[in-house]
A and B are shown apart, each in its own frame.
Chain A
Amino acid sequence: MRLVLALASLRRNRARTILAVCGVAIAAAMLLDMVMLSTGMRESFRQLLLSRGFQMRLTPRGTMPFDTEATITAASDVTAKLRARPEVDLVSPVLGASVHVLRGDSSITTFALGVDPQAQGDYQLAAGRDATEPNTLIANDDFLRATRAKVGDTLRIASGFDPQLRTHSGERALVIAGRAKFLYLASGQLAVAIPLRTLQEMTGAAREDRVSLFMVRLRDASKVPDVTKWMRTALPTIDVISTADAMARVDERLGYFRQLSAILGAVSLVVGFLLVTTLVTVSVNERVGEIVVMRAIGVSKAHVVQQIVLEGTALSVTGAVLGTGLGLITARYLNTILSRFPGLPAAIDFFLFQPRAAWTAIGLLTACGVLAGLYPAWRAASLPLASTLREEAVA
């Protein structure tokens, strides 16, 4: 009966109810997006770091991965030392370099990763074969588009360029063995993966037996602290970054994002709250007479309050559910805009949908709807009966 009454009074002023639901839906969409934004980038970064199960990254002392040209020397020794540890499951050495694809007089510069194809964690093969043979390479779509090459083509690639003499060095013919999606690159960035040995040879003495980065996977993630401790003493010229460390740094950098989204989320929550309060207050004021009559014929204060609160709740739940849909659509749209953000891996999602985020947004708004109805409901249910009836009769 209370539900019947609540819904009936929402239906009584249909246009107003629809407008309020739209308002709540927009507030809910904004809130959901902000909740998604505050947790999404972090979560998506974490997923990216762990996508191939590598829990640790080893970089030259004092650098972040690919931040500088710095490299780790005696890479094969380090690799051997790492592989000798029983906890270590997989070691993936990576060398980063710029290389130039030569075409007649001109050349196209691209980012190259020297990898061990058996152990690599940088790309996902989409077509063709992996670059297991020397003098082969894997390219991404942007590279193939820019060079108008296709899988199976042979390209002349140089590792060095002297701008004064306008000559190239370390030139070699490489066959495109496959096409891949590179996980850590920004959108639009040209990239190839070349067997580590081939790339080291091309870059000559400067890069002999060097790598920019090791990625290490342990059999048991809980051993990360132990292995880290061992690495710090056994490999003093190397920095060890665990996924947890990396997340801590990301958190630091994302602090602004989270603050921003917390503030904007709170604002939309307040807007939703005020909207429901206004609507419930207006609608309660319109039918003070009915409420007092209900009380006079014996409907308890608690039931009157419940009925009115139910109205506010129905409004906010409907709005929140519609808003969730709207929020997901806007998040997807905003994500495509932001994924072109320079310098960030294209695989990073700013708005990552997590069911928890949706439940949080719906839950917060529903709670707001309940609270919003509570005060006007209580006030109306507490009016003195005889004198209010008398005033209603005069009105």
Chain B
Amino acid sequence: MSALVRARDVRRDYPLEREAVHALRGVSLEVEKGEYLAIVGPSGCGKSSLLNLLGAIDAPTSGTIEIEGRNVGTLGDREVTDFRLRHIGFVFQRFYLLPILSARENVELPMAEAGVSAAERRERSTELLRYVDLADRVKHRPAQLSGGEQQRVAIARALANRPSLLLADEPTGELDAKTGQEIISLFGRLHADGTTVVVVTHDENLARAARRVVHMRDGVIVQDEVPGG
């Protein structure tokens, strides 16, 4: 069975004035379709750097990253943007919704970009907002929603174009334990429905919910476990 994500000996250096920071020092990782994977490790070990590479919003200094068999590091700006649009859903720690758009419009934005018709957009955004339990908040602006609600809208937005890979960087980082738990169970539901999920987290509850946990330290993977497996 071919992996959905295949990272091979990935390095990422950030050139700074004095000396480069080696954030990733040779990471190899495969993620199968339908997996639910958590990346954990101490602060600064390179988790976000890795996730950005998997989400094709950054390119590795060396090594290759293949998603659905495409080497995303070699794509031009236009192709890689389109790839993100159609194949990847990204959830950020700070939600990053567009404040001038309603919940529904935020969810519809990636669909409009992908050329989905207005009628279909409306139908799917309604469906997605119902899925994240916000059917009654479609017209609200981000400022009128709580943090947990904003994060759920952001998840609905990430799912808009039926991505093959859902990535989340500390999705519960800004939320209290109870609200975080709602997000955790939402990810569980997504996984159960067949979505491939990769989360970066310090949240032990979230990490425990995942089926596979990758531990990182100083830019390398030190442990790759399937708890209870």
Contacts and interface: CB of A to CB of B under 8 A. Distances in A.
A5 B57 contact: no
Interface size class of A (residues with CB under 8 A): 20 to 34
B11 interface: no
Interface in A283-309: 289-290, 293-301, 303
A293 B92 contact: yes
A4 B105 contact: yes
Contacts of B105: 1, 4
B94 A298 contact: no
B98 interface: yes
A8 interface: yes
Contact of A385 (B57, B78, B101, B110): B57
Interface in A369-395: 384-387, 389-390, 393
Task: Decide if the interface of chain B is mainly helix, strand, loop or mixed.
Answer: helix
B78 A300 contact: yes
Contact of B109 (A297, A301, A385, A390): A297
A299 B98 contact: no
Interface string B82-126: 111110101011101011110001001110111000000000000
Contacts of B92: 293, 389
B133 interface: no
Contacts of A303: 113
A277 to B, nearest CB: 22
A249 interface: no
A383 B215 CA distance: 31
Contacts of A300: 78, 81-82, 113
Contacts of B158: 297
A12 interface: yes
18 contacts: A1-B108, A1-B112, A4-B101, A5-B101, A11-B100, A290-B98, A296-B84, A296-B90, A297-B110, A298-B114, A299-B113, A300-B82, A301-B77, A386-B49, A386-B52, A386-B57, A386-B58, A389-B92
Interface of B: 14, 48-49, 52, 55, 57-58, 77-78, 81-86, 88, 90, 92-94, 96, 98-101, 105, 108-110, 112-114, 157-158, 161
